[in-house]
Amino acid sequence: MKILMVTDLVKRFSLEVLSGHNQFHRVLKKTKVRRPGLEFMDKFDFIATEHIQILGKNEINYLHTLQEEECKLRIGNIIQYDPPCIIITSNQEEPPGLIQYCIENDIPLLRTPDSTSEVSAKLDAFVVKAMAPEISIHGVCVNVSGMGILLRGKSGVGKSETAHTLIGRGHRLVADDIVVLKKLSPQTLLGSHNEKNKEFLALRSIGLLNVVRLYGRTAFQEETRIALDIELTKWESNTLNNELELETKFIDYMGVQIPHMQIQLQPGRDVAGLIEAAANNWYLKQQGYSAAEEFVKRLEEEMEEDN
């Protein structure tokens, strides 16, 4: 998990600093921002601590109606919950005494022209992603028809070559060789690059390619939600299962269950085409359609007609 500090927010969102330049090292520990409500009143033990506090128009207008000492008292009810910083939205004027109170309590006070809803959504998305648990795995990550797919297999099996073929068919590379996986929720796994391998694809006998320079911006995607895990394996006779519909298998990444399948390689097999078919078929299953069920239904209808 990456350590996120106030300075990261200031740089990422170009926040105006009203106070607390020497407190940018404060570490963010919670992934959700909060707007004070009950916090303006007396202390409540059940209020969550260590969240970024957002002061929108309602909060700032309320504070402007108070005398300076009363304003400090209400702000003090927020400070006691140890926010890493306080952000004023919509370029509003800070209430009297707020800057001084934040200075005295070592709390960075920041300001943004964005509305409360805009900055809350942006901050939540950024902080959740930045603080998400992550691991790095050996493989290739591609986006096929809008679906994130992990390609795994032994070194030299043809993962990068398959990704190159998929790019030629209009799909997108996310990461080659090293894939960074982030757990955003118990059901959501995000695949991305590690910055060093961004836009690069390594092909044996060819070398390192920059797919954006070669094929344009549409050949690359920063990140994608992982929907399928596909393992490329060597061909083994008499091991392929030709049932109408295979039982879904799963692989676990940090507690997130991802559907898993194997594709065996053999000269002449259109592996990229099989991956496209797997992606499209999985999408249809998510929409409630099963080709196998429809096929069986047709057989049953034909048998009924014969009878």
Is there a single domain that holds both residue 157 and residue 96? no
Is there a single domain that holds both residue 100 and residue 39? yes
Q: pTM (2 decimals)?
A: 0.80
Beta strand 86-88 pairing with 109-111: parallel
**Count: domains in the chain:** 2
Structure tokens at 267: 């000269």
Domain end residue (candidates: 81, 105, 130): 130
Q: How far apart are CA 182 and CA 196, in angstroms?
A: 17
Q: What pLDDT sits at residue 38?
A: 59
CA-wise closest residue to 62 among 80, 85, 36 = 36
Full residue range of the structural domain in which residue 29 is found: 6-130
**Catalytic entry in 51, 72, 114, 159:** 159
Q: What pLDDT sits at residue 79?
A: 80
Is there a single domain that holds both residue 65 and residue 157? no
Structure tokens at 69: 């000492």
- Per residue in 282-305, pLDDT tens? 898 888 888 888 888 888 888 877
Is there a single domain that holds both residue 139 and residue 281? yes
CA-wise closest residue to 179 among 162, 201, 158, 161 = 201
CA-wise closest residue to 296 among 242, 249, 258, 244 = 244
**Catalytic entry in 11, 138, 154, 234:** 138
How many degrees, rounded to 5, is the angle at CA 150 between CA 271 and CA 196? 115
Is there a single domain that holds both residue 225 and residue 89? no
Q: What pLDDT sits at residue 11?
A: 94
Structure tokens at 247: 């039982």
Contact 141/155 with Cβ under 8 angstroms? no
Q: What pLDDT sits at residue 64?
A: 86
**Catalytic entry in 177, 198, 260, 285:** 177
Domain end residue (candidates: 99, 130, 161): 130
Backbone angles phi, psi at 231, to 5 degrees: -100, 125
Is there a single domain that holds both residue 145 and residue 288? yes
Question: Is 138 assigned a catalytic role?
Answer: yes
Q: Residue 201 is part of a domain; what is its CATH number?
A: 3.40.50.300
Is there a single domain that holds both residue 143 and residue 78? no
Domain end residue (candidates: 74, 102, 130): 130
Is there a single domain that holds both residue 142 and residue 121? no
Is there a single domain that holds both residue 121 and residue 149? no
CA-wise closest residue to 219 among 173, 178, 179, 177 = 173
Is there a single domain that holds both residue 150 and residue 205? yes
Q: What pLDDT sits at residue 244?
A: 60
Residue 198 lies in a domain: yes
Residue 201 lies in a domain: yes
Ranges of residues in the chain with a pLDDT under 50 are none
Q: What pLDDT sits at residue 154?
A: 92
Residue 302 lies in a domain: no
Is there a single domain that holds both residue 76 and residue 16? yes
Mark 59-84 as b/e (b = at least 16 C-beta within 10 Å).
bbeebeebeeeebbebbebbbebebb
Is there a single domain that holds both residue 43 and residue 147? no
